Amino acid sequence: MMRAERLAFAPRRSIRRIGAGAFLGALSLAFAAGAAETPPRATVESAPLAAGPPPGGEVLQDRADRSDGTSDAPYGGVRRRRRDAREGFLFSVGVGAAQNYLSGAGHAAGFALDLRMGYGFSDRFQLFFDLSALPANYGFGQDTTSWTGTVRGQTVLLGDRQGNGLNLNLGVGLGGLDTYVGRAPFGSSRAGLALAGGLSFDFRVSPWFALSPEVIVQWHQVPNEPNFDPDIHRAFGGQLNFVWYSPY
């Protein structure tokens, strides 16, 4: 009787074992299939970098000729400001010739020497200090050197974003006259009001260097002894400036 009951329940236990095994096998196959379809994490993270721009997108090139001086980074990144060609510290040395006039002495030709140092805030405006010396000989052993120290502002009248163009500078400051007459002691006048200006054209040789021929004009007082009207010195000429712009 007991043996018959064991035989009667044996098929049910076999069915339960078969059903559990089939379920575990199906679950293992499903897990293996999902793992095969899912790429590794490193692959997912690096995929956008390797794929480049998103579908339908284009890499934006830097726009060096934008009117606002900015450019677009690739993939629509943050826009960055592009430095102007005339922006930054500047240093200039000039040499040339000028025609001088000194009241009471007449006209005389001579050299023109110039030194400048300043800062360019943008392509449209530069501010610098100008030190100019104009030696000349008025005859009868009278050698003089007219000097001016002026603070000048310069703007571009016509030019491009590479640093080439026509510039105008105007300034105000002080001027004086040093005199050498034969064996007489060296004489130097007191300083008087000085006005100066120039019209130049920059030829950019490199991003940090330019050749700049310039037409120069200056006027300044030459103070005399008390109760005497001041003399006047004026000059007109041309010079070639060698201009360096700081890369920083």
* 13 secondary structure, DSSP code: H
Contact 135, 178 (CB under 8 A): no
By percentage, how much of the chain surpasses pLDDT 90?
45
Evaluate if residue 108 carries a pLDDT over 90. Answer: yes
In terms of pLDDT, which residue wins out, 138 or 247? 138
196's CB contacts (< 8 A; 6+ apart) are 130, 132, 148, 150, 152, 170, 171, 172, 173, 216, 217, 218, 219, 220
Q: Tokens 């592009």 map to which residue? A: 82
* Secondary-structure class of domain 88-245 per CATH: mainly beta
d(CA 85, CA 247): 10
Q: Three-state DSSP class for 121?
A: coil
| Stronger pLDDT, 22 or 146, i.e. the higher one | 146
Query: What is the rounded CA–CA span in Å between residue 223 and residue 143?
Result: 18
Q: pTM of the entire structure?
A: 0.65
Domain ranges of the chain: 41-81, 88-245
Contacts of 115 by beta carbon, 8 Å cutoff, 6+ apart: 92, 93, 94, 130, 131, 132
Residue 93 has pLDDT above 70, yes or no: yes
For 122-147, what is the mean pLDDT? 91
pLDDT grade, residue 140 (50/70/90)?
A: confident
> CA 44, 45, 46, 50 torsion: positive or negative?
positive
* Res. 204 pLDDT band, cuts 50 70 90: very high
Per the prediction, the chain carries an average pLDDT of 78
Q: What is the per-residue pLDDT across 11-61, written as a single tens digit (0 to 9) for each?
A: 555 545 555 555 556 556 655 555 555 555 544 444 454 455 555 444 444
Return the minimum-mean-pLDDT range out of 37-51, 161-175, 180-194, 232-246: 37-51
Locate 246 and state its tokens.
């700081």
In this prediction, residues 147-161 reach a mean pLDDT of 94
Lowest mean pLDDT segment, chosen from 17-26, 142-151, 204-213, 218-227: 17-26
pLDDT in tens, 220-245: 999 888 888 889 999 999 999 999 99
